Amino acid sequence: MKKLLLLISCLVLGQSYAQKNLLQAGPMVGYCEMTEAMIWVQTTQAAKVKIAYFETGKPLPVYFSDEVLTEKTKGFTAHLVADKIKEGKNYTYSVYINNQKVALNYPTVFQSKKLWMHRTDAPDFSVATGSCAYINEPEVDRPGKGYGSGYQIFEKISDKNPNIMLWLGDNVYFREADWDSKTGIYHRYTHSRSIKEMQPLLAKTQNYALWDDHDFGPNDADRGYYYKHETQKAFKDFWANKTYGENPNQNEGIYSTFYWGDAQFFMLDNRFFKSPNDRKTGERVLLGSPQIQWLIDNLVSSKASFKIICIGGQTLNSDAVFENYATYPEEKEFLLNEIKQNNIRGVLFLSGDRHFSELSKVERENTYPLYDWTVSPLTSGVASSYKNELNKNRVEGSMFAEQNFGMLYFSGDKENRQVKLVLYNNQGIELWSKTILKSELK
């Protein structure tokens, strides 16, 4: 009898181990609404994938998502919808591959959106953010010391237990071997997404992303990049945003918006419509008119206390260097004027790209000041270009040139809502903070 039990135990453990070997990356929590949530998974080969989930603390009843067969054309990725959830609840989930549960040694949980409007004050919540995540692969990296390091930063972000993680671009770095083929593009995503340090963060935190040049195409890539629809397809396969652009049938850009609590986040696309840096004729644009009109329309109709505009590159740095928005003066002026003329309250910019972090502040006549918090880099190399820049809008003491991540803490009752910006180094130690009151953005 003991031998039989031992044999059964070995078979069960062997099956569990085999299924874990079929798990390439994830699971990753994507968008979470009141009645459905998205969980992303990648397998190593074609496999049947689903999730089981239940309200945390109440293991019955257990619900299952529809089963998805992963396939090579989509990088063996699956987007699994949990559509039997209720608002304001915490859920525990498990991944099943080929009908076998995958054993993981970190929490796999998600939270549905709370129905609070017209009922209570907005809930307190926190958002992590960062940009520029380089994961070394010596075989195709440039010679010399690896450009990426400090991968433990993802564990330190996870330790802060954010409700949301905003990936502000350069979330992977396409190499010369990558951006000319679908095989290379999907390999880069797979390689970067699979590191062990990232998995606990992905598994318990909502993840939303935008892109910048290095996960759109080559360095400084623009609308002329001939393979942009292929990198757009990969972006959709490897992230789990709720929407991408205005018309999914046209596949034009990856910009999107979502709410959490009393904040609305606008994830902009600064690459798909961007005119070439060196072009001398034609209109010079970064976001393009359709995207700006979409943004203004949504800002005007938004009831959120905080309207967080997220973009890959800096918006309010006054120095017209690299690809800062100051190098697109007409479009930048138009956007900021539209915000002012339409009396849009509560705007705060978040940006990445620059391999250093700083807060920029622009005072405006007869209205509230604008802030742009740049948070960079996560694991990439650190820049020194800031030493030669003349950003007149930099808030004194806010500039840090080291690997880091940011946290936004939203708290307070209706009349005293605030967002606290806190910058942490790659060990999770606080470097700097700034509190912005809702009343300051009116």
3 state SS of 26: strand
Q: At what angle do helices 182-193 and 228-238 cross, to 10 degrees?
A: 30
Strands 125-130 and 164-168: parallel
Beta strand spans in 45-118 (E): 48-55, 63-64, 68-69, 77-82, 90-97, 100-101, 109-111
> Are 215 and 179 contacting, i.e. CB atoms less than 8 angstroms apart?
no
How confident is residue 68, by pLDDT bands cut at 50, 70 and 90? Answer: very high
Mean pLDDT of 37-62: 98
Average pLDDT over residues 202-221: 98
| CB-based contact 313:270 (threshold 8 Å) | yes
Partners of 433 in the beta sheet?
422
Give per-residue pLDDT as tens, 14-35.
544 456 699 999 999 999 999 9
Over residues 123-173, the pLDDT tens digits come to 999 999 999 999 999 999 999 999 999 999 999 999 999 999 999 999 999
Q: Look up residue 355 and give its amino acid.
A: H
pLDDT, mean of residues 286-295: 97
pLDDT tens, residue by residue, 355-405: 999 999 999 999 999 999 999 999 999 999 888 999 999 999 999 999 999
Check pLDDT > 80 for residue 46: yes
More confidently predicted of 3 and 428:
428
CA distance 403 to 36: 35
pLDDT for 12 equals 47
Using the predicted structure, report yes or no on whether residue 412 has a pLDDT greater than 60.
yes
What is the C-alpha to C-alpha distance for residues 322 and 353, in angstroms, rounded to an integer? 10
Angle between helix axes 289-301 and 329-341 (nearest 10 degrees) is 20
Q: How far apart are the first and last CA of the chain?
A: 74
Domains recognised in the chain with CATH numbers: 2-111 (2.60.40.380), 125-441 (3.60.21.70)
Q: What mean pLDDT value characterizes the chain?
A: 95
Question: pLDDT band at residue 214, thresholds of 50, 70 and 90?
Answer: very high
Pairing, β 109-111 against β 125-130: unpaired
Nearest to 38 by CA among 205, 195, 187: 205
Task: State the average pLDDT over residues 61-88.
Answer: 98
Share of the chain above pLDDT 70, in %: 95
Predicted local distance difference test score (pLDDT) of residue 5 = 47
Rounded to two decimals, what is the model's pTM? Answer: 0.95
Is residue 117 scored above 90 in pLDDT?
Answer: yes
